[in-house]
Chains A and B, each alone.
Chain A
């Protein structure tokens, strides 16, 4: 069985400060892991994905995430927040074999940026 837990429903940071969005997962198999961002009235956009290659994954817009198997975590970070980063972020776990029904989205973390 698979599951994903986003540990914070809302994170607020000041512009220019680091961002940390936490995600823990559970999987019976070696998983693929994703982070998606959802801006209001726009479709979900892929930020980055981990598929058993390098454990530190770099994505778009300066985001990166590190796969830590021992901690079953895949936290999303960014060194310096920008106002345009304000959005909803979703951590996703998927089995390495293609089974669409096993793709699990977390409940989301809303990121707010203070000027």
Chain B
């Protein structure tokens, strides 16, 4: 399977702990996106990379959140000092940059975070 993969699929943590999620995009895709999805809502944009450069960040991404894509391949999303409000599904997507049309994003299955 050469789709987008995310690890872990589920994470339960206690408030105040740090968590890190990993996303492996489709290999030839140079764009990578992180979204957060809460129950009953659509995904909300968090941040986006073009190769290894983090080009855009949402205001939703507080100082406790950091994302990296060190070699332009996989990406990690870290949440420090987790809060109960961080409980959500964290989605990763990748796309191939096209100058002539809006990219089609391919999504991973998500990581469900529960903060107790």
Q: Which A residues fall within an 8 A CB radius of B?
A: 9, 32, 36, 41-46, 49, 51, 90, 92, 94, 96, 98-101, 103, 105-108
Contacts and interface: CB of A to CB of B under 8 A. Distances in A.
A43 B24 CA distance: 14
B40 interface: yes
Contacts of B101: 32, 51
B104 A105 contact: no
A101 B105 contact: no
Given A43-B91, A44-B91, A108-B40, A49 B104 contact: yes
Contact of B48 (A9, A49, A100): A100
B58 A41 contact: no
Interface of B: 3-4, 31, 33, 35, 40-45, 48, 55-58, 91, 93, 97, 101-110
Contacts of A49: 102, 104
Contact of B109 (A43, A46, A94, A100): A43
16 contacts: A43-B3, A44-B91, A46-B104, A49-B104, A51-B102, A90-B42, A100-B31, A101-B45, A101-B48, A101-B57, A105-B35, A105-B43, A107-B40, A107-B41, A108-B40, A108-B41
B91 A105 contact: no
A49 B93 CA distance: 16
Contact of A107 (B42, B48, B102, B108): B42
Contacts of B33: 100
